[in-house]
């Protein structure tokens, strides 16, 4: 088996390849993505322990003043009342630990906002799938189950860090549900189709809509659930109509008076609908929607910036020999546009003269660290140093 943990680039590890190893991306996307469960079986190993430790959870619980939306307790498919472990909107660590001892699963929501390794993992997957990705962490006591059988409205990867969980998979009731087609408690599962144990170092991919349940075995279980909230074609078309309506007053008009009355001519309804569809087609500009979705991916795929001041106050001045690398996990988009070029990241945009484009392209595509002097010669020595300092301050580049 290839050791993807050693596959490092200037932009960081190839997290997608690391996650699905030994499958290739082409094989995973052809045979599993949005189609069926993928159980990535490995011998029990500590390979996921680098992502998260019990110490990390202690820090989040004990020193981050976690709010009621950050930590959730569930037991036997029922939420533990938040008043039992929060006070004045803040989670009480001792109460959380007491409920865990009593059999409750502790869910740490969106830990990519607090744990740098999870931030890098989510950013890497976000880039690979052009998707919004978040990391929820589940800490389950021995012989316990947080939720009964249910489905999710987003795809998930489950990475087992420690302990073991027994998974039960049931026939799908709603294939690829939209976000509004959420599972409702009390819905009976379909026929049991598969059971397996997920141990440390193994992972499972579940397409949205696949009904599942998991229960810990004789020891505590710790796993990370990566939720991929992708953009659907339905969302694309809805946004396209909305974009057209901003430019066409007729699409913003009310439906005709009396359209719901008995006897309103069906032929008239068809005529009006055809008229509006023709208007949408004539004004349809897909690039507007591609741009908005791309901007959202770039804005949400944000690493944790844990070195902005230390980079600024580094006592060693930046020189032509200084080694730099692209910030791991940072999603960027760069292009030349008329007399300027732009670099977009984290919801921000830098505009630079078009003559700088070779250097911007070099920086955003570099797979290895480089010296400042290695920047393309569209810039002289002073220009290279000026651009390098700017991109370090903006968080795009890091000193090696």
Check residue 56 and give left, alpha or beta (phi > 0: left; psi -120 to 50: alpha).
alpha
pLDDT digits (tens, 9 = 90+) for 308-327: 999 889 999 999 999 999 99
Of the pLDDT bands very low, low, confident and very high (cuts 50, 70, 90), residue 346 is confident
Structure tokens, 35:
């189609």
pLDDT digits (tens, 9 = 90+) for 127-178: 899 999 999 999 999 999 988 899 999 999 999 999 999 999 998 888 999 9
Instruction: Report how far Cα 273 is from the mean position of its chain's Cα atoms.
Output: 37
Query: Can you tell me the mean pLDDT for 346-363?
Result: 94
Query: Whole-prediction pTM value?
Result: 0.84
d(CA 121, CA 18): 10
pLDDT at 111 exceeding the cut of 90: yes
Report pLDDT for 77.
67
150 DSSP assignment: B
Report pLDDT for 320.
97
Helix, coil or strand: residue 173: coil
d(CA 237, CA 217): 45
Positive or negative, the Cα torsion across 265, 268, 274, 280? negative
Positive or negative, the Cα torsion across 106, 117, 135, 190? negative
Q: What percent of the chain has pLDDT over 90?
A: 72
Within 10 Å of residue 312's Cβ, how many Cβ atoms?
A: 10
d(CA 133, CA 296): 12
Q: Which residue has the higher pLDDT, 10 or 169?
A: 169
How many Cα atoms are found within 13 Å in the side-chain-facing hemisphere of 87? 5
Residue 142 and residue 151 in contact, taking contact as beta carbons nearer than 8 Å:
no
Q: What is the 3-state secondary structure (H, E, C) of 53-65?
A: CHHHHHHHHHHCC
Of the pLDDT bands very low, low, confident and very high (cuts 50, 70, 90), residue 184 is confident
pLDDT digits (tens, 9 = 90+) for 242-255: 988 988 899 999 99
Q: Which residue has the higher pLDDT, 118 or 188?
A: 118
Task: Delineate the domains of the chain, giving CATH numbers in brackets.
Answer: 4-229 (2.60.120.650), 233-286 (no CATH), 308-399 (3.90.930.40)
Query: Can you tell me the mean pLDDT for 268-280?
Result: 91
d(CA 281, CA 173): 34
Instruction: Report CA-CA distances (Å) from 49 to 53, 56, 65, 163, 196.
Output: 6, 11, 24, 12, 22
pLDDT digits (tens, 9 = 90+) for 199-208: 999 999 999 9
pLDDT at 8 exceeding the cut of 70: no
Instruction: Report CA-CA distances (Å) from 315 to 152, 320, 336.
Output: 50, 16, 35
Report pLDDT for 364.
92
Q: Which residue has the higher pLDDT, 400 or 336?
A: 336
Closest C-alpha to 40, from 229, 231, 226: 226
pLDDT digits (tens, 9 = 90+) for 195-234: 999 999 999 999 999 999 999 999 999 999 999 999 999 9
pLDDT at 6 exceeding the cut of 80: no
Structure tokens, 15:
């997290």
Q: What percent of the chain has pLDDT over 70?
A: 97
């Amino acid at each position: 088996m290839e050791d993807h943990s050693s596959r490092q680039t200037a932009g960081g590890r190839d997290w997608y390849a690391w996650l699905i190893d030994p499958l290739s991306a082409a094989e995973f996307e052809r045979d599993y993505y949005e189609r069926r469960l993928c159980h990535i079986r490995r011998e029990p190993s500590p390979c996921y322990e680098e992502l998260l430790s019990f110490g990390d959870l202690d820090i989040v619980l004990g020193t981050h003043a976690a709010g009621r939306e950050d930590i959730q307790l569930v037991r036997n498919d029922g939420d533990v009342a938040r008043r039992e472990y929060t006070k004045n909107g803040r989670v009480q660590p001792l109460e959380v630990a007491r409920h865990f001892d009593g059999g409750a699963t502790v869910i740490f929501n969106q830990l990519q906002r607090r744990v740098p390794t999870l931030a890098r993992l989510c950013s890497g997957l976000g880039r690979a799938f052009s998707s919004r990705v978040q990391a929820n962490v589940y800490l389950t006591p021995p012989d316990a189950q947080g939720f009964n059988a249910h489905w999710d409205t987003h795809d998930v990867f489950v990475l087992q860090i420690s302990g073991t969980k027994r998974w039960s998979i049931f026939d799908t009731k709603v294939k690829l549900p939209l976000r509004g087609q959420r599972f409702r408690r009390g819905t009976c599962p379909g026929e049991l189709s598969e059971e397996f144990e997920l141990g440390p170092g193994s992972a499972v991919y579940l397409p949205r809509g696949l009904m599942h349940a998991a229960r810990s075995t004789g020891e505590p279980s710790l796993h990370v659930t990566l939720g991929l909230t992708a953009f659907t074609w339905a969302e694309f078309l809805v946004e396209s109509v909305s974009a057209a309506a901003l430019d066409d007053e007729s699409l913003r008009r009310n439906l005709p008076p009396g359209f719901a009355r008995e006897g309103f001519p069906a032929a008239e309804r068809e005529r009006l609908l055809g008229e509006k569809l023709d208007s949408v087609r004539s004004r349809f500009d897909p690039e507007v929607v591609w741009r908005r979705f791309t901007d959202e991916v770039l804005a949400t795929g944000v690493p944790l910036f844990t070195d902005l001041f230390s980079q600024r106050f580094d006592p060693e001045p930046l020189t032509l020999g200084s080694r730099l690398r692209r910030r791991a996990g940072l999603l960027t988009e760069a292009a030349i546009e008329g007399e300027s070029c732009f670099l977009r990241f984290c919801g921000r945009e830098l505009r630079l003269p078009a003559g700088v484009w070779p250097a911007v392209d070099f920086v955003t595509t570099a797979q290895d660290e480089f010296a400042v002097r290695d920047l393309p010669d569209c810039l002289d020595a002073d220009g290279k140093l000026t651009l390098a300092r700017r991109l370090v301050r903006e968080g795009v580049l890091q000193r090696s």
